[in-house]
A and B are shown apart, each in its own frame.
Chain A
Amino acid sequence: MISASFFGRYAAVRSVAIITARTSGFITSGRQIVCPPKRIQSFHSRCHSTTASTTSNANGDAKPCSVAIVGTGPSGCYTAKYLLNAFDKKSTTNSSGIHIDMLERLPTPYGLVRYGVAPDHPEVKNVENDFAQLFVDSNRIQFWGNVAVGSDAVVSLEELRELYDVVVLAYGCASDRKLGLPGETSLLGIVSAREFVAWYNGHPYFDHIGYEVANALGNDNNDNPKHVVIIGQGNVALDCARVLAKGAQGLKDTDIASRSLPIIGEDGVANVTVVGRRGHIQGAFTIKELRELTKLQAEGHGAKFVVLEEELDLGETPASKQELEQKGSRPKVRINKLLRDAAAASSNHDDTTTMDTKQVQLRFLLSPKEFQPSDADPSAVGAVVCERTQLEGEPGKQRAVGTGQLETFPANLVLVSIGYKGTPLPGLEQWFDAQRGVVQNRGGKVDEATAALGGLYVSGWLKRGPSGIIGTNIMDAKDTVVNIMKDLDASNSDDSKSDAREKLLELLQQRGVHVVSWSDFQKIDAKETSASYKRTDQQPREKIVELDEMLEAAGVASR
Chain B
Amino acid sequence: MFSRSRQSLPLIYSAASKRLLKRSPCVGSAIGSIRHHGGPSVSTNAPTVTVHFLQPDGETVKSVPARVGESLLQTAHRNDIDLEGACEGVCACSTCHLILPQDVYDNQEEPSEDEEDMLDMAYGLTDTSRLGCQIMVSEEMDGIQFEMPKATRNFYVDGHVPKPH
Interface residues of A (CB under 8 A from B): 85, 120-124, 126-127, 129-130, 234-236, 248, 250, 252-254, 258-259, 261-262, 284-289, 291-292, 295, 299, 328, 330-331, 334, 419-420, 443, 464, 466-472, 474-476, 478-479, 482, 529, 531-540, 542
In the assembled complex, the Cα of A223 lies from the Cα of B83 at a distance in Å of 52
In the assembled complex, the Cα of A534 lies from the Cα of B3 at a distance in Å of 9
Q: Are B4 and A534 in contact (CB under 8 A)?
A: yes
Known contacts A253-B11, A472-B123, A538-B9: A532-B4 contact under CB 8 Å = yes
Q: Are A250 and B12 in contact (CB under 8 A)?
A: yes
Residues in chain A near residue B144, CB distance under 8 A: none
Q: Are A127 and B93 in contact (CB under 8 A)?
A: yes
In the assembled complex, the Cα of A262 lies from the Cα of B1 at a distance in Å of 6
Q: Are B95 and A471 in contact (CB under 8 A)?
A: yes
Provide the B43-78 mask, 1 if CB < 8 A to any CB of A, else 0. Answer: 000000000000000000000000000000000000
Known contacts A258-B1, A471-B123, A472-B123: A464-B164 contact under CB 8 Å = no
Q: Are A464 and B156 in contact (CB under 8 A)?
A: yes
Residues in chain A near residue B122, CB distance under 8 A: 471
Q: A418 to nearest B CB, angstroms? A: 11
Known contacts A234-B165, A289-B164: A471-B84 contact under CB 8 Å = yes
Known contacts A126-B88, A334-B116, A532-B4: A466-B165 contact under CB 8 Å = yes
In the complex, given contacts A532-B4, A537-B8, what are 5 additional A-B residue pairs having Cβ atoms less than 8 angstroms apart?
A122-B30, A126-B30, A287-B117, A469-B93, A470-B95
Known contacts A124-B87, A469-B94, A479-B153: A285-B1 contact under CB 8 Å = no
Kindly identify which residue among B9, B14, B152 contacts A536, using a CB–CB cutoff of 8 Å: B9
In the assembled complex, the Cα of A250 lies from the Cα of B14 at a distance in Å of 11
Provide the B100-121 mask, 1 if CB < 8 A to any CB of A, else 0. Answer: 0000000000000110111011
In the assembled complex, the Cα of A467 lies from the Cα of B165 at a distance in Å of 5
Known contacts A127-B87, A536-B7: A469-B164 contact under CB 8 Å = yes
* Residue in A286, A334, A466 whose Cβ sees the most chain B Cβ within 10 Å: A286
Q: Are B121 and A540 in contact (CB under 8 A)?
A: no
Residues in chain A near residue B121, CB distance under 8 A: 286, 288, 331, 469, 471
Q: Are A120 and B120 in contact (CB under 8 A)?
A: no
Q: Are A475 and B164 in contact (CB under 8 A)?
A: no
Residues in chain A near residue B161, CB distance under 8 A: 467-468, 472
Q: Are A534 and B6 in contact (CB under 8 A)?
A: yes
Residues in chain B near residue A471, CB distance under 8 A: 84, 86, 93-95, 121-123
In the assembled complex, the Cα of A129 lies from the Cα of B3 at a distance in Å of 29
Residues in chain B near residue A470, CB distance under 8 A: 86, 93, 95
Q: Are B6 and A536 in contact (CB under 8 A)?
A: yes
Q: A201 to nearest B CB, angstroms? A: 15
Residues in chain B near residue A130, CB distance under 8 A: 36, 84-86, 88
Kindly identify which residue among A127, A261, A479 contacts B155, using a CB–CB cutoff of 8 Å: A479
Residues in chain A near residue B123, CB distance under 8 A: 471-472, 475
Q: B12 to nearest A CB, angstroms? A: 5
Q: Are A535 and B4 in contact (CB under 8 A)?
A: yes
Residues in chain A near residue B36, CB distance under 8 A: 129-130
Interface residues of B (CB under 8 A from A): 1-12, 14-17, 30-32, 34-36, 38, 82, 84-88, 90-95, 113-114, 116-118, 120-123, 125, 151-156, 160-165
Q: Are B9 and A252 in contact (CB under 8 A)?
A: yes
Q: A314 to nearest B CB, angstroms? A: 22
In the assembled complex, the Cα of A398 lies from the Cα of B119 at a distance in Å of 26
In the assembled complex, the Cα of A284 lies from the Cα of B164 at a distance in Å of 5
The chain A residue sitting closest to B94, CB to CB, is A471
In the assembled complex, the Cα of A540 lies from the Cα of B32 at a distance in Å of 5
Q: Are A252 and B116 in contact (CB under 8 A)?
A: no
Q: Are B12 and A472 in contact (CB under 8 A)?
A: no
Q: Are B88 and A129 in contact (CB under 8 A)?
A: yes
Q: Which 3 A/B pairs are nearest by Cβ-Cβ distance?
A: A123-B92, A331-B120, A127-B86
Known contacts A469-B94, A535-B2: A123-B30 contact under CB 8 Å = yes
Q: Are B31 and A467 in contact (CB under 8 A)?
A: no
Q: Are B90 and A443 in contact (CB under 8 A)?
A: no
Residues in chain A near residue B95, CB distance under 8 A: 470-471, 474
Q: B162 to nearest A CB, angstroms? A: 5
Q: Are A252 and B86 in contact (CB under 8 A)?
A: no
Residues in chain A near residue B114, CB distance under 8 A: 288
In the assembled complex, the Cα of A536 lies from the Cα of B164 at a distance in Å of 32
In the assembled complex, the Cα of A346 lies from the Cα of B86 at a distance in Å of 36
Residues in chain A near residue B162, CB distance under 8 A: 286, 467-469, 472
Q: Are B125 and A468 in contact (CB under 8 A)?
A: no
In the assembled complex, the Cα of A250 lies from the Cα of B38 at a distance in Å of 26
Q: Are B2 and A258 in contact (CB under 8 A)?
A: yes
Q: Are A535 and B5 in contact (CB under 8 A)?
A: yes
Residues in chain A near residue B90, CB distance under 8 A: 123, 126
